[in-house]
Amino acid sequence: MTSDITVEHSEGLAVVSLNRPDKLNALTLDMRVELLDAFRDIQTDPRIRAVLLRGEGRAFCAGADISTMGKDDVWGDRARLYRAHQMILSIFNCEKPVVAAVRGPAVGIGLSMALACDVILLSETARFGQVFRKIGLAPDGGAAFFLQNLIGRQRATDLAFSARMVPADEALSLGLASQVHPDDALDRAALDYATDLAAGPTFALAGTKRLMRAAMQPSLENFLETEAIIQGQIIKSADHAEGIDAFLSKRKPVFRGA
């Protein structure tokens, strides 16, 4: 692992940390591959019985590092999205319980990563956001799938259309998280929760996860196939190019519907 992703495990618990705090843990292409590899290793390691996913510093994950977006051809864009999908699936389909500890922003693909986990614990500084419209994109990383299953179509659509930030207390009331803790208490609370799961009945917890997944419709795999087709079209639009340029230039985008 590079320094941008760290994995530590002890007494049945793996702690996976996003370690790019100076960039609010914005996800690079390499980090997607490293997270995918980490969760594949966790899946097959009998010593690991639960996982804690967290971010170093004051953010969980501020979304994708968009400085490289829009520079690929169609096949490059599809490969980038495929890596993101495989990463999300590796978290979602992990047979071990996965707890997310979210401090500060969880935005875009960062929110999708948190929602792919089984249980989310927040600090009071946590903020969720589906900000894709600001860069001329539709939600990706399975966000629409997770949000609609968790909070229903109307609320999920509102969050995507408005691109507003959701504070911790609202996220809790909407059902997007299980607990909220003071900022300085989050790490201990999340570690205690995940440690308890690591000491639990592993096969029973895995069976519980499978039942929870079976109750969700449609399947995440089928949804992500549709997402890849839609995003592959949108990402070549002039509005997306404008959104990226505006973000990097720190100005308000001017979308023209093209």
Residues 6 or more apart whose Cβ sits within 8 Å of residue 13: 48, 49, 50, 51, 52, 191, 194, 195, 198
Residue 80 or 120, more confident: 120
Mean pLDDT across the stretch 160-165?
96
Q: Is the pLDDT of residue 103 over 90?
A: yes
Q: Shortest CA distance to 132 belongs to which of 108, 155, 158, 165?
A: 108
Residue type present at position 144: A
CA distances, 145 to each of 96, 142, 225, 254 (Å)? 21, 5, 12, 28
Alpha carbon 214 to its chain's center:
20
CA dist., res. 37 & res. 192, Å (int): 25
- Range ranked top by mean pLDDT from 133-137, 189-193, 200-204, 254-258: 189-193
Counting Cα atoms < 13 Å in the Cβ hemisphere of 119 gives 20
Burial group, residue 180, by CB count within 10 angstroms (0-12, 13-18, 19+):
buried
Mean pLDDT across the stretch 5-21?
97
CA dist., res. 21 & res. 6, Å (int): 13
Task: Look over the chain and give the mean of its residue pLDDT values, rounded to a whole number.
Answer: 92
Predicted pLDDT of residue 258: 76
Residue spans per domain, the chain: 1-183+203-258
Write the pLDDT tens digit of every residue in 188-216: 999 999 999 999 999 999 999 999 988 88
Q: What is the largest CA-CA distance in the chain?
A: 55
Predicted pLDDT of residue 72: 57
Characterize the bridge pairing of strands 119-123 and 127-129. unpaired
CA dist., res. 198 & res. 205, Å (int): 10
pLDDT band at 2 (very low <50, low <70, confident <90, very high): low
Sheet-wide strand order for 98-102: 5-10, 13-18, 50-55, 98-102, 119-123, 179-181
Beta strands in the chain (DSSP E): 5-10, 13-18, 50-55, 98-102, 105-107, 119-123, 127-129, 165-167, 179-181
The CATH class given to the 1-183+203-258 domain equals: alpha beta
Residue type present at position 125: T
Predicted pLDDT of residue 69: 59
Q: Shortest CA distance to 136 belongs to which of 228, 243, 217, 61?
A: 243
Residue indicated by tokens 């969760």: 39
Would you give the DSSP letter of residue 24? T
